[in-house]
Amino acid sequence: MARTPPEEVAPLWHRASEAAITFRRDVAGRSAAPQHGYAASLQRFSSPLPEEGADASDVLDELVRLADTGLMTSTGPRFFGWVIGGSHPAGVAADWLTSAWGQNAGNHEASPAASAAETVAARWLLELLDLPRGSSVGFVTGATMANFTALAAARGAVLREAGWDVEADGLFGAPPITVVVGAEAHTTVHAALQLLGLGRERVVRLPVDDQGRIVVAGALATIDELSGPAIVVLQAGQVNTGAFDDFAALVPAARARGAWVHIDGAFGLWARVSPRSAVPARGAEGADSWAVDGHKWLQTPYDSGFVIVRDAAAHRNAMTIAASYLPASGEGDRDPTHYVPELSRRARGFAAWAMIRTLGRDGIRELVERHCTCARLIAERLEAEPGIAVVNDVVLNQVLIRFAVDLDGAAGDALTHATIGRIRADGVCFTGGASWRGREVMRLSVAGYETDEQEASRSAEAIVTAYRAVRQDQARGS
């Protein structure tokens, strides 16, 4: 059978959409943590390599059955793990079409529509985030690759300034680059440096305060001493606390020393869409490049991130792939591949376009404001409970919680762990854990479009209930 007969496609795709609709309809009623972890899920999926094919509808049913017990409720209203958006139905619908259309977004000839949707979504993004309108935008898998791509552009530009063509000649023999990062930079910044030959550990780490913000006075002294090729990486939205570096102070100082300033704003840059949260993100527009996610606050399905670069030529120099069989882009043509590492890829612009079109500037602003309100509401409720402390300043959508603050450090660590476990077992909401400044904490990130004040309150009560139960068990010595 060379192909799926056309008369089988419609029932197959209807079945897929029915399974999707059922899952979304019921997700709020599920236990927030998956029924099965990885080991049990692997056992369900494990089977020998199929020698013969099977009916596509049967395969789909099998997939739904096998996956079901191991699916996370990240699209549900009470999911607060990591920083994970909710894959909004409008974005999912556009994403289905993206797959069905089967467009290769590599260049404007292979898919004029995909290239055009990206061009327009890129313009909208620059307006929404209020970044320099002439910047180039690449549609990547997420903030990890956005950091990578931006730092590749930075590497090329600062070395070109020093008379070295890194894209052609590589790093061996190149003038050294000083890379300056905050001590609480996201791990993917280090991953990007590792991939770029700049070294994960070969960085100058700037001291940070208790919110993970770079301490300005010391940083300015370090920045003032920069000479030669330099890259300074700042952060909008620390992944635990949601804190912002002081862009107004640091960005101009670093640029005055000739450094390239990159801002990792995976979720935090979206604070710029609301006057209520934009204040700490002021000055970010002065940087040279930015990383921001679509699949976090914009609620696009995975995978979706944006790399934005002020110097479009530096961006293209770092990413261009040329070959005789690929079209040369003419005046006004935008080839998506010039701004991302890959050649063939998914037409990510369709879902980004659809989400911005569906929510509009107002809808995105409402979403950010609602999530920030929910975060504060949860923090206030938890702080009212004896023994629970909110560890961070809740400036955005992130809340860090410490349990059993009346006990010593190790006992507090143990009860914080136990409480997170209890919350997951109770299944009302899902929260994460982290270590913050040497202590175990629970972290909550409000980032799903389904979460509102009511769901936030219900979750806060569930957390208090779980904590009380853990304390009771502890008092009984179990």
Ligand X SMILES: *Cc1c(COP(=O)(O)O)cnc(C)c1O
Q: Which residues contact 56 (CB under 8 A, 6 or more apart)?
A: 4, 8, 12
In whole angstroms, the minimum distance from the beta carbon of 217 to ligand X comes to 24
Which token pair is 91? 């974005």
* Nearest C-alpha neighbor of 359 from the set 140, 112, 85, 134: 85
Tell me the closest approach of the beta carbon of residue 278 to ligand X, in angstroms.
18
Toward ligand X, which CB reaches closer, 103 or 397?
397
Of 173, 175, 182, give the one whose Cα is nearest residue 160: 175
* Least CB distance to ligand X at residue 62 (A): 30
Q: Phi and psi dihedrals of 140, rounded to 5?
A: -110, -175
Q: What is the dihedral of CA 112, 118, 123, 126, to 10 degrees?
A: -160
Quote the tokens at residue 379. 């923090």
Q: Which is nearer to ligand X, 292 or 388 (CB)?
A: 292
DSSP characters over 443-457: EEE---TT--HHHHH
Of 143 and 470, the one with the shorter C-beta distance to ligand X is: 143
Shortest gap between Cβ of 476 and ligand X (angstroms)? 39
| Nearest residue (CB) to ligand X, 32 versus 233 | 233
- Shortest reach from residue 308's CB to ligand X, in Å: 14
Q: How far is the CB of 208 from ligand X (least distance, A)?
A: 14
Task: Identify which of residues 308 and 415 has a Cβ nearer to ligand X in the complex.
Answer: 308
By CB atoms closer than 10 A (0-12, 13-18, 19+), residue 47 is exposed
How crowded is the C-beta side of 174, counted as CA atoms within 13 Å? 25
In the complex with ligand X, the residue whose CB is nearer, 266 or 446, is 266
Q: Which is nearer to ligand X, 298 or 420 (CB)?
A: 298
Q: Is the peptide bond before 303 cis (omega within 30 degrees of 0)?
A: yes
Residues 180 and 189: their CA atoms lie apart, in Å, by: 11
| Residue placing its CB nearer to ligand X in the complex, 115 or 397 | 397
Phi-psi region of 387 (alpha: psi -120 to 50; beta: other; left: phi over 0): left
CB of 12 closer than 8 Å to CB of 57: yes
- For the CB of residue 432, give the shortest distance to ligand X in the complex, in Å: 12
Tokens of 5: 């007969």
Contacts of 277 (CB under 8 A, 6+ apart): 271, 368, 369, 372, 395, 396
Residues near ligand X (CB under 6 A) are 83, 142-144, 186, 188, 237, 239, 264, 266-267, 293, 305
- CB 303, min distance to ligand X, A: 8
Query: Toward ligand X, which CB reaches closer, 27 or 181?
Result: 181
CB nearer to ligand X: give 166 or 198.
198
Query: Between 142 and 301, whose beta carbon lies closer to ligand X?
Result: 142
Taking the complex as a whole, how short is the minimal distance between the CB of residue 97 and ligand X, in angstroms?
Answer: 23
- CA 421, 422, 425, 430 torsion-angle sign: negative
CB closest to ligand X, residue no: 142
Q: Who contacts 170 (Cβ-Cβ below 8 Å, separation ≥6)? A: 197
Residue 286 corresponds to which amino acid?
G
Provide the minimum distance between the beta carbon of 380 and ligand X in the complex, in angstroms, as a whole number: 24
Least gap, CB of 143 to ligand X (angstroms): 3
Task: Please give the backbone phi and psi of residue 390, each rounded to the nearest 5 degrees, phi first.
Answer: -90, 125
* 3 state SS of 431: coil
